[in-house]
Amino acid sequence: MSAILECRELSKSFGGVKALDGVNLSIEPGRVVGLLGPNGSGKTTLIKLANGLLTPTGGELLIAGQKPGADTKAIVSYLPDRTYLPEWMSVRQMLDFFDDFYADFQREKATEMLGRLSIDERMRLGQMSKGTKEKVQLILVMSRNAGLYLLDEPIGGVDPATRDFILDTIIRNYNPSAAVIISTHLIADVEAVLDEVIFINSGHIVLQSAVDEIREQQGKSVDAYFREVFKC
Amino acid sequence: MNRNFRSDLPIYTQLVGQMEQDIASGAMPPGARLPSVRDLAAELGVNPNTVQRALQELERAGLIYTQRTSGRFVTEDTAAIARCKQALGESQIKEFLAAMTLLGYRRQDIIALLREEKEEES
Amino acid sequence: MLGHLIKHEFRATGRRMLPTLGVLALLGLLANLSIRLLESGFGDGTVLRILLVLFVIAFFVGITVAWIMTLVLMISRFYRNLLQDEGYLMFTLPANTHELIWSKLIVSTVWFLLTGLLTGLLMFLTVANLVNLSGDDLNVMFIGLGEALDMLRDMGVTNSSLVLLLVEMLAAVVLGCLTTSLQFYAAMGLGQMSATRKGLWSVLAFIGLSIAFQIISSALLGGLGNSDSIDLVINSFETMIQTAPGTVRAANSGIGITMLVELLQGAVLYVITALSLSKKLNLA
């Protein structure tokens, strides 16, 4: 199987500071991958590069064999680490928007999920609490039948019930032939839904391994192993 | 089934164990239809591939079977279920005996203790 | 994709611009009504007349406000929608940077033109009202215009050169709108590269770009003035304007040259905008 995401000697500097340094990695379709690392380790930089929001300083990053551009954006579904939808737009206008721009957007799916949370489609994003906004964002992103889902800190700062809702939504909705990358520093919370983990620290890939392998070989959870690897 | 997993074993192994127990105890009766992989995964809060792997393991053990169109079912082969129950029972006893031996009990002491326990119950 | 981008850009800007233009039209009509009433001596010697005068003033204030709104909206749509949090949505759409820039350019130009058209129309109405223009007067004007055109034709000015002049003037207006927007876009494109003070750097970049173009154009003019070619140009213009068709041709080429310079400036600004957004994008 060919990789959906591949990095070769990928580097990115910001004014001389290296955020990513010679990263090599390859992610196969059909996997749920945790991109794990402390804050400032390069997770968001990597995800932004994959979305074409940043341009590499060195090396390359390929999505399904192509450099990030309009074609790759059509198959990548991205959840940024912030609220990013226009405040003045209503949920219905947002659905129209996704419908117009993404050929793989399944509107019925989004409508159904919104209905289950009893979110009124006439409501404007500006009228919602931060938590509701984040749920709407996740629903829109997961209603796409994408080839690669890039979820940046989807469970950062949410309560346990919301966390379960988020993970549940991800598991129930991702396209099974797609890869899902979840970046987070809250490992214990996501560990059970992951196939694979990538440990990243100071712009370097420290480890890429199957979760089962870590548990079998190390005899401990990924969370415990992570704490051991990143012990300060 | 619960969402709490031990941290030192692969999750799929733990899923297999839980489901074997449910089948042996009859919580999942013979011929019962299993939820879809995705629903099971969401319900348990685990990765669908993990569920898939566990189900394959159970299928190899002959405890569940797949019908191409309608999904997965618990086997109706009661002999197979009985064998599974037997195996689970044996391993429980082995663990128990090992623990008792560690405490310094000999076989006859253990049997005596069990008898006593039974009398107290009745 | 460009079509969808333009559609949604109209959706986003229309909710501000349509009410603005609507209010402006209303103010214009109110002002004209007031002028009529004032002239008819309505409510002589009462406070009512002050109110009527205020309506007329409100209309002129309204024009200024409408133009400022159009300009501010052009700037804020680019800044907020592309360079702040909403940029995460816009730059991950399956569209390329050129489509994003053009959708903003086209829509802001349309609003500039519509604001201009409405302002022109209302101003004409007001002037006509002030000088008590009647239907007959309009007729006379049209007939006069027709006669003037006939005269030009008699002097050898072709229809096509007049049409060309009109088209050129329209194109120059559109180009002016595009270049104006682009100068703001390029400045913001440069400013967003700063990690912390994007707004401040955008303002500085705008001032810098203005100064740069000023220097370049004066250097060009200076260079041209010192060379012999300027005499050649002046001479050729002088000979041209001795006949009527020549004057039209002179106007044609005059606007043409101005447009060429503006086109060049616009192209440079466009390249700066596109490069800073595609290669050096730095969303906060």
- Overall number of domains in chain B: 2
| pLDDT tens digits along C30-43 | 999 988 888 887 77
From residue C123, alpha-carbon distances to C45, C69, C134, C201 in Å are 28, 19, 16, 38
Q: Quick check: B30 contacting A, CB < 8 Å? A: no
**Residue of chain B nearest A173, judged by CA positions:** B38
From residue B103, alpha-carbon distances to A70, A229, B107, B117, C219 in Å are 68, 37, 12, 18, 99
Top residue of A13, A47, A51, A53 to mutate, by most chain C CBs within 10 Å, is A53
Find chain B residues with C-beta within 8 A of A179's C-beta.
none
User: What is the percent of chain A with per-residue pLDDT over 70, rounded to a whole number?
Assistant: 99
Range of the domain at B44: 11-77
Asked if residue B73 and residue B17 are part of one domain, the reply reads: yes
Q: How far is Cα C268 from Cα C2, in angstroms, rounded to an integer?
A: 22
Which helix (H) or strand (E) is A162 found in, with range? Answer: helix A160-173
Asked if residue B83 and residue B26 are part of one domain, the reply reads: no
Asked if residue B90 and residue B64 are part of one domain, the reply reads: no
* Maximum pairwise Cα distance, chain C: 68
Residue-range domain boundaries for chain C: 1-131, 157-284
Nearest residue to C67 via CA among C171, C207, C168, C180: C180
Against chain B, the chains showing at least 3 CB pairs within 8 Å are A
The verdict on a CB contact (< 8 Å) between B45 and A164 is yes
Q: Tell me, yes or no, whether B105 lies in a domain.
A: yes
Q: Quick check: B3 contacting A, CB < 8 Å? A: yes
Q: Tell me, yes or no, whether B5 lies in a domain.
A: no
The verdict on a CB contact (< 8 Å) between A86 and C281 is no
Q: How far is Cα A42 from Cα A35, in angstroms, rounded to an integer?
A: 10
Contacts of C175 (CB under 8 A, 6+ apart): C259, C262, C263, C266
Asked if residue B16 and residue B61 are part of one domain, the reply reads: yes
Nearest residue to A87 via CA among B5, B103, C85: C85
Which residue among A176, A216, A219 sits closest to B48, beta carbon to beta carbon? Answer: A176
Predicted pLDDT at B1: 41
3-class secondary structure for chain C? CHHHHHHHHHHHHHHHHHHHHHHHHHHHHHHHHHHHHHHCCCCCCCHHHHHHHHHHHHHHHHHHHHHHHHHHHHHHHHHHHHHCCCHHHHCCCCCCHHHHHHHHHHHHHHHHHHHHHHHHHHHHHHHHHHCCCCHHHHHHHHHHHHHHHHHHHHCCCCHHHHHHHHHHHHHHHHHHHHHHHHHHHHHHHHHCCCCCCHHHHHHHHHHHHHHHHHHHHHHHHHHHHHCCHHHHHHHHHHHHCCCHHHHHHHHHHHHHHHHHHHHHHHHHHHHHHHHHHHCCCCCC
| pLDDT tens digits along B26-80 | 888 998 899 988 888 888 888 898 999 999 999 998 899 988 888 899 988 888 8
**Cβ of A79: how many Cβ atoms within 10 Å?**
24
Stronger pLDDT, C54 or B122, i.e. the higher one = C54
| pLDDT tens digits along A156-166 | 878 888 888 88
Stronger pLDDT, B107 or A100, i.e. the higher one = A100
The alpha carbon of residue B38 is apart from the nearest alpha carbon of chain A, in Å, by 6
CATH number of domain containing B69: 1.10.10.10
The model's confidence at residue B3, banded by pLDDT at 50, 70 and 90, is low
Asked if residue B42 and residue B84 are part of one domain, the reply reads: no
Asked if residue B65 and residue B93 are part of one domain, the reply reads: no
Asked if residue B37 and residue B15 are part of one domain, the reply reads: yes
Top residue of A63, A99, A100, A151 to mutate, by most chain C CBs within 10 Å, is A100
Our CA angle for C153, C157, C161, nearest 5°, is: 125
Find chain A residues with C-beta within 8 A of C283's C-beta.
48, 53
Top residue of B3, B7, B57 to mutate, by most chain A CBs within 10 Å, is B7
Strand-pair category, A148-152 with A76-79: parallel
The verdict on a CB contact (< 8 Å) between A168 and B38 is no
The verdict on a CB contact (< 8 Å) between A100 and C7 is yes
Which residue among A15, A73, A93 sits closest to C92, beta carbon to beta carbon? Answer: A73
Asked if residue B67 and residue B26 are part of one domain, the reply reads: yes
- Helix, strand or coil for residue A76? strand
Strand-pair category, A58-63 with A5-14: antiparallel
